[in-house]
Amino acid sequence: MDYKEEISDLGLDVDEVYELKDALEDAAGTSKDFSKDLKGNEEALKEAAKQMSRYNKAVADAEGKFDDWKDALKGNDLQKQASAVKELSGIYADMFDLDADDFSDGFLKSADNLDLMQKAMEGSEDAYNDLQSRVAMDIIEQEFGSLPGITQEALNAITSQKIAAGDIIEVDGENPIAN
């Protein structure tokens, strides 16, 4: 699948994503604070534009729906819960550039996660980082089961740095998985 098809399949406006990519490219060439990884890197610029567009779409799609979702998740109407979970899976997927089926039902039904999403979309970096760590933990637990050695602190360390397969992650000088 080519880039334009991927963008279209995600429900994004292809022209808007390309305009954002061009704006990122201009900013990369003029800003000292801009990631050096993006300067002159067409693929990285496209990926960044796609991710930013998906996040913006998530924010727009979530606008005005938080109270309805909270009510549906707390209520006894299974159809409303199922509808809310389906919508939330798409919102989380767009927020974190994942697939909608990457999330467990427990994650999607969590009122705490929904509160963090709302705070993140209102601009809280701490809420976004916490939610990102919860996404990572949810995916890890789905793949490997519960890992008691993985703490929230370890996940925060993992998600806040670039790591590669085989890297040993240490928190406070210790490998949290080895303990």
Query: pLDDT for 3-43, tens place per residue?
Result: 889 888 988 988 999 898 888 888 777 766 666 677 777 88
Residue 81: give the domain boundaries. 65-146
Same domain, 81 and 35: no
Instruction: Please choose, from the candidates 178, 99, 83, 112, the residue with its C-alpha nearest in 3D space to the C-alpha of residue 142.
Output: 99
Residues 6+ apart with CB under 8 A from 153: 171, 176
φ and ψ at 114, to 5 degrees? -65, -40
Among 42, 63, 84, residue at a domain's last position:
63
Same domain, 80 and 135: yes
Which range is least confidently modeled, 97-101, 126-130, 173-177?
173-177
Determine the Cα–Cα distance for residues 10 and 130; give it in Å rounded to an integer.
Answer: 25
Hey, CA dihedral for 56, 50, 25, 130, is it positive or negative? positive
Determine the pLDDT at residue 45: 87
Does residue 154 lie within any of the structural domains? no
Does residue 17 lie within any of the structural domains? yes
What's the structural domain count of the chain?
2
> 143 falls in which pLDDT band (50, 70, 90)?
confident
Does residue 151 lie within any of the structural domains? no
pLDDT mean over 112-119: 96
Determine the Cα–Cα distance for residues 153 and 55; give it in Å rounded to an integer.
Answer: 25
> 153 falls in which pLDDT band (50, 70, 90)?
low
Q: Are 58 and 12 in contact (CB under 8 A)?
A: no
* Count of other CB atoms within 10 angstroms of residue 103: 23
Same domain, 54 and 72: no
Among 63, 93, 115, residue at a domain's last position:
63
pLDDT of 95 > 50? The answer is yes
Among 13, 30, 63, residue at a domain's last position:
63
Q: Is 173 left (phi over 0), alpha (psi -120 to 50) or beta?
A: left
Which range is least confidently modeled, 4-13, 108-117, 137-146?
137-146
